[in-house]
Chains A and B, each alone.
Chain A
């Protein structure tokens, strides 16, 4: 059988593809547990960060002991300093793709407890900065105005006034900021409704 015969080409291509794909499948299988664990850990960390519980020890255990079982809307409830806090994992449309994260609210005080971002596909360095602490910390303790929170151009840096219903958007990323405004406000409605049902 010569190297350029039809049969050799077909058999060779098939074998090469089979061997390499088989090796990939092996590695994937060997690491799948770790990958799953990493994802669970990231989600647990996001919930704890949003509510403001310091991360220590096994974050998945901490998550289980801090939050009860999620209800049918996926909302979990916990108590922080005697106040009831509700939180939920959300997914919304950013500028380039899905933004997913966790928002935590205090429904009685009508106040955001915290926000954390799990994943996004915004431009690194521009819209991608929504995952930076200065952006997320602005939401902590922010009172929710009746017509919704606004993410807008501010003084620059951070907006630490918790009563004005505004947080600073990301410079150079107006569309991502606008998307975050919609996502957060939709999520506030969702959580408020869910909290009332209980």
Chain B
């Protein structure tokens, strides 16, 4: 790791090294949960929580973890926090738990979390590791929210369940199905990359 000041970590995770645009990680959940903005927000908040705490825990324990079982221990820690989120949702927010269904459990397989634990938390002290986890999650959240706003608006004519377009609006069925997330994400990566390349050229 060359430069790990909070500012550069933030800038990297949100933009130059964004987990979705640049690293193309966590795509599965991007396709699955973004047809509805409310679910996307809760899902991404859960991911931010899990990446942050997993990074801290891995960072604190890093000198104790034997290299051979490093990945297994990381997975265990991730699974621990995800199950915690699932239990809390089921007990205190049953409606949301019902809406998210199996997606919460799938956070365990979100490659961003494992990626950050392995690439950052293993080599850095806890405080900056927490910051890295939170901002990676935020970078993920930003992209998902953009996709979800477009999909819910065009697919259901509403935002967060509130009707935006009138009764005459015909919903684009494709927008609530996974393929539309592919098109939108592809388009977003195109736009983001174009801006990045232009900046580099300057």
Contact = CB atoms under 8 A, between A and B. Distances in A.
Contacts of B35: 124-125
A4 B66 contact: yes
Interface in A5-50: 8-9, 12-13, 16-17, 20, 23-24, 27-28, 31, 34-35, 38, 42
B80 A23 contact: yes
A119 interface: yes
Nearest to B80: A20
Tell me whether chain A's interface is mostly helix, strand or loop, or mixed. helix
A28 B80 CA distance: 12
B100 to A, nearest CB: 9
B76 A17 contact: yes
Interface in A103-154: 119, 121, 123-126
B64 A12 contact: yes
Nearest to A4: B66
Interface residues of A, number: 26
Given A3-B66, A12-B69, A24-B84, A124 B36 contact: yes
Interface stretch (B7-15, B18-26, B88-96, B191-199): B88-96
B132 to A, nearest CB: 22
A185 interface: no
A125 B156 CA distance: 8
A54 interface: no
A121 B87 CA distance: 19
Interface residues of B, number: 32
Contacts, number: 70
Interface in B61-118: 61, 64-69, 72-73, 76-77, 80, 83-84, 87-88, 90-92, 94, 98-99, 101-102
Given A27-B84, A35-B91, A124-B176, 11 more contacts: A4-B68, A13-B73, A20-B77, A24-B80, A24-B84, A27-B88, A31-B88, A34-B92, A42-B94, A119-B98, A126-B173
Q: Which 3 A-B pairs have the closest CB atoms?
A: A125-B176, A31-B91, A38-B94
23 contacts: A3-B67, A4-B66, A8-B66, A9-B68, A9-B69, A12-B69, A16-B61, A16-B76, A20-B76, A20-B77, A20-B80, A23-B80, A24-B80, A27-B84, A31-B87, A31-B90, A31-B91, A34-B92, A35-B94, A124-B39, A124-B176, A125-B176, A126-B173
